[in-house]
Chain A
Amino acid sequence: MNLGYTMKVVRIDKKNWVGDIENLSRSYRLFGPVKDDNFHRFEELDKDKLPDLDYFNTRLSPKSIVYPQSETMFEYCLDERKKDHHVMKEASKDYSQRAVIGIRPCDAAAFLLVKRNFDTPECKDPYWVKAYEATTFVGLACNNPHSACFCTTAGCGPFHEDGLDILLIDAGNHYFAKIITSKGENLLKAAGWDTKVDAGKEIESMKQNAETGITSFIATNKLKDKITADLFDAPFWEDMAFACINCGTCTYACPTCWCFDIQDEVHGCSGTRMRNWDSCMYPLFTLHGSGYNPRNTGMQRVRQRFMHKLKYYVDKYDNGIQCVGCGRCVSLCPVNIDIRKICNTMNSYEK
């Protein structure tokens, strides 16, 4: 929830940063970006480990903090001598409060897009919703956006605040922390940050500066009014999908992709039922028992992914595209398929 009054900004001296993080780790499980080879990735921070806030964008999105790549849902016993054998029991999990330090605004906004699927009035996904509600998002504004970023035209931005509880802004020797929600306020207390400052103008100019750093754009204004069938039957899909090797990299790296698979794993007499990330790029994703596959060709699967992100999602929720412009799929795709180009093509397509 947004705080009703004018947003509070505090200054955090970088000299005290180590101690502040230590304070936080007493009441929160902390997650943050750490360096891994040439890339960064989000992981749980052990004691004495600091989040490395000097990074462009992590290779994989931080969606795994709320939605692990492989998550145990149920446990069961197959030993028929035991009581309650073959009965699914909910696996115990740690939903104590956690905080992500240094998440990029686009990645935080992505959680809001995914929430529309996992948290509906008819059915709340218990694992996702509990983990999401236990998490405080401390964002890090992008002062120098990456060349593949197109967040400003994807409903997001380098200083975007939706989905965040606190926004940190790196200002040389100190951070400004903009408190956005009451969750953020609680974290502020736990960290002991209380040097209130009036930095509205400074932040505003940094924001404008960062926004001018975004150099690539997409057009999404006409997607909503396009006829689904026209886009579906459009001739450009063969071309767009020609190079695709259906590797699934885009779906795993994407912060807004949520499809999953449910599998059982058995060791001796004890078993678990887990859900794992899945990808609509794979033929097995939709293969029927009978051998029939509604999305049999690579082209159909590529079309499904982009139609879902840029048309079905737009139609269903009437709240923009299912993309935050983080640019991961653009920079990681081995065959240079570019969602920006596809989006613009779809947006300007006339039958």
Chain B
Amino acid sequence: MSLKIPRYDINLEPSMSKHPDFNRKSILMHTQSGFKSEIIAIVPLTAHEKLFHIRICDPCERENFAFLPGQFVMLELPGCGEVPISISSSSSNKEFIALCIRKVGKVTGMLHRLKPGTIVGIRGPFGTHFPMEKMVGHNILLIAGGLGIVPLRSPIYWVNEHRSDYGDITVMYGAKEPGQILFGYQFEEWRRIYGLNILTIVQNAGKGRQGKEGIITDLFDDIDIDSDNTFAVVCGPPVMFKFVCAHLSKSGLPRQRMFVSLERRMHCGMGKCCRCNVGSTFTCLDGPVFDYWTVMNLKEAI
């Protein structure tokens, strides 16, 4: 199966009269007001995280809404505020988008009290994406810590749907406790059907759990990295990046092939409100996905 990135084809005009622009900066003007959407399902995952399935109400807007793995949307809850949330559903899913949200503040606290059927707004998608097209033909190492699995679920779907384009896929996932592992119910499916190598580790295994106890970097003992032919995607709490990327560097992986997804407080999503800046770059426009070489040269990034 070939990649579904549309290529410019003169025969397909006028339906493709515009060159596809996945960086989406040029169509930011269309994202100032949100799409009216409905929460169609809420799946409780752990004590603090729920998965929201959100569907854009207008069928036309729903059809046109397209994103790439790694991008995020602003979820607006009238009366409360809006929050930037990375999309954790498949980019080929035209029916709804899935957002996994941890209860931490005012807006997310309110979201957790909502029932299916509530009207919310979606603005976006914003930001850069994981370079799925560059990774074709390579092995991919997806490394997540805690809530970091959320933005990685979308690239996992992507590689599953285009499985033959990629080599070995390894998912390394670390969490604090077994009860905090997100999407654990999908691991078996991913392993068996798509042949993903999924390694998990928890800091505190508690009583009676089989499996590894330790921190995420301990998992590096279990794998061999073919450094000439591997891309790494890392997402997790800020403290994780340095340790994980140092390990990756040690195994010979060049920093341009490590991609991280940074987190910043954001309000506008369009590079205006200026709070997500890291040096002279804006996380909402130039990120959240950066290659690690760029991040290393940006002060205050991690």
Pair count A-B, CB < 8 A: 122
Q: Which residues of A contact B274 (CB under 8 A)?
A: 117, 258-260, 280
B34 contacts A by Cβ under 8 Å: yes
A278–B105 touching, CB < 8 Å: no
- Within B100-137, the residues touching A (CB, 8 Å) are 102, 104-105, 108, 118-121
The residue on B at minimum CB distance from A76 is B78
| Shortest distance between the CB of A164 and any CB in chain B (Å) | 25
- Chain B residues whose C-beta falls within 8 Å of the C-beta of A290 in the assembled complex: 104, 237, 263
By beta carbon, the residue of chain B nearest A128 is B272
A173 at the interface (CB under 8 A from B): no
For A292, the chain B residues whose CB sits under 8 A away are 237-238, 263
Of residues 262 through 280 on chain B, the ones whose CB sits less than 8 Å from some CB of chain A are: 263-265, 267-268, 270-275, 277-280
Residue B33 CB within 8 A of the other chain: yes
- A198 at the binding interface (Cβ < 8 Å): no
Would you call A261 and B267 a contact (CB within 8 A)? yes
Interface SS of chain B: helix, strand, loop or mixed? Answer: loop
Interface check B76, CB cutoff 8 A: yes
Residues of A within 8 A of B26 (CB): 122
Q: Mark B248-264, 1 if CB is under 8 A from A, else 0.
A: 00000000000000011
Q: List the A residue with the shortest CB-CB distance to B280.
A: A312
CB distance from A227 to the nearest CB of B (A): 10
B25 proximity list for chain A (CB < 8 A): 122-123
Which stretch of A83-91, A180-188, A238-246 is in the interface?
A: A83-91
Interface centre among B29, B36, B78, B273 (most CB of A within 10 A): B78
Contacts of A289 on B, CB cut-off 8 Å?
Answer: 83, 102, 104-105, 108, 265
Report the minimum CB–CB distance from A78 to chain B (whole Å): 5
Q: In the complex, A69 Cα to B254 Cα: how many Å?
A: 47
Q: Is the CB of A266 within 8 A of B263?
A: no
> Among the listed B28, B36, B264, B297, which residue makes an inter-chain contact with A87, where contact means beta carbons less than 8 Å apart?
B36
Question: Does B13 sit at the interface, judged by CB under 8 A?
Answer: no
B79 CB-CB contact with A under 8 Å: yes
Contact B79 A260 (CB under 8 A): no
Residue with the highest number of chain B CB atoms closer than 10 Å, among A118, A259, A262, A286: A262
Contact across chains for A88 and B34 when beta carbons are under 8 A apart: yes
Complex contact A228–B299 (CB within 8 A): yes
Which residue of chain A has its CB nearest to the CB of B31?
A123
Complex Cα gap A264–B76 (Å)? 10
Contact at A259–B273, with CB atoms within 8 Å? Answer: yes
- Pick the contact of B272 from A87, A260, A288 — CB < 8 Å? A260
Interchain CB contact (< 8 A) of B275 among A228, A286, A307:
A286
Q: How far is the CB of A91 from chain B (nearest CB, A)?
A: 12
Contact partners of A125 in chain B: CB under 8 A:
270, 272
Give per-residue flags for A82-114: 1 if the beta carbon is below 8 A from chain B beta carbons, else 0: 000111101000000000000000000000000
> Closest B-chain residue to A312, C-beta based?
B280
A238 to B237 CA separation, bound complex (whole angstroms): 27
A262 engages B268 (CB within 8 Å): yes
B78: chain A residues at CB < 8 Å are 76, 78, 86-88, 264, 271, 273
**19 A-B residue contacts at CB 8 Å?**
A78-B78, A86-B79, A124-B29, A125-B270, A232-B300, A233-B299, A259-B273, A260-B268, A262-B268, A264-B78, A264-B81, A273-B76, A286-B265, A286-B275, A290-B237, A294-B300, A312-B279, A315-B280, A316-B280
Counting from the closest, the 3 A-B pairs by CB-CB distance are: A312-B280, A86-B119, A289-B104
- A residues apposed to B, CB below 8 Å: 74, 76, 78, 85-88, 90, 117-118, 120, 122-126, 228-229, 232-233, 258-264, 266, 271, 273, 275, 278, 280, 285-290, 292, 294-295, 300, 304, 307-308, 311-313, 315-316
